Amino acid sequence: MMAATSRAALRGILREEEPMARHTTWRVGGPAQRFYEPADSADLAALLQTLPADEPLFWLGMGSNLLVRDGGIRGTVIHTTNRLAALDRLDGDRIRVGAGVPCAKVARFCARERLTGAEFLAGIPGTMGGALKMNAGAFGGETWPLVAEVESVERSGVCHRRTAADYRIGYRCVRGPEEEWFTTAILQLRSGDTEQGQQRIRQLLQRRAATQPTGQANAGSVFRNPPGDYAARLIEAAGLKGACVGGACVSPKHANFIINTGGATAADIEALIEQVAATVLERHGVALQREVHIVGERRR
């Protein structure tokens, strides 16, 4: 991976053969060959400068919206949660937030600062880095309409500052420069009332708890909603609520969620995802697109 002298200069935490089941919300996944938690953005840039050009890299936040296969991940996983952790109020109703800050924390911070527009982030079980990567949304809100600027780092460790104009933004999809990753965002919000913001967050969380299996291991919505319809409606209409493969089951509470009932493998979950997609295509003629990212190698 890197020379011993280069490794000694780093300030973060490096582990080898780290079980990814410890770091994913489905609680499954084989080991990461190397797992690095940077001390800060400068340490992250220093790490990148030590890596070979062909070193496989994978960036990890809170592990939601993600299925890591049972064979694990080759190369280096960079874990940013609570590591790239800047969260500051700026002038002009703006905030600066690091890629490793949980979205729910951003929502609460904005409410305390009498800023409105970020309440929906309370319903996203991931970090700002992941929200930026996929234009995450909940309860009618989406991430990128709030973005004024982003800071990013490329594979060589060189940092950039960019605006939304440098990216193509779509539904759960963001396209930008290759081999470049978000480290910080500047969000533009509106002045508001603290109590109203906190009340809105409470209402959204109550709605989420009432409609989603929040108390069970899941990764969020498995499929994107097709144009003019809902993936959950199609899955339920296909008779798949409660369908299981091993320890993985379609949630009886919300059909677009797959839960680990205990003892599920990544292979169980992936097989169930494929079964759901095939059945919906057969019954409704709709090809569902995955929202969940599947990475890593199958167990041999």
Active site residues: 172, 221, 291
For residue 60, which of 32, 81, 86 has the smallest C-alpha distance?
Answer: 81
Tokens representing 36?
């690095």
Burial class (CB within 10 angstroms; exposed 0-12, middle 13-18, buried 19+) of 175: exposed
Q: Are 77 and 18 in contact (CB under 8 A)?
A: yes
Q: How many residues does the chain have?
A: 300
The HSE-up count of residue 209 (CA atoms within 13 Å, CB side) is 8
Spatial separation of the C-alpha atoms in residues 94 and 124, rounded to whole Å: 20
Residue 18, amino acid = E
Separation between Cα atoms, residue 47 and residue 49, nearest integer Å: 5
On whether the CB atoms of residues 80 and 60 are closer than 8 A, the answer is: yes
Q: What share of the chain is helix, strand, coil (3-state, %, to 5)?
A: 30, 30, 40
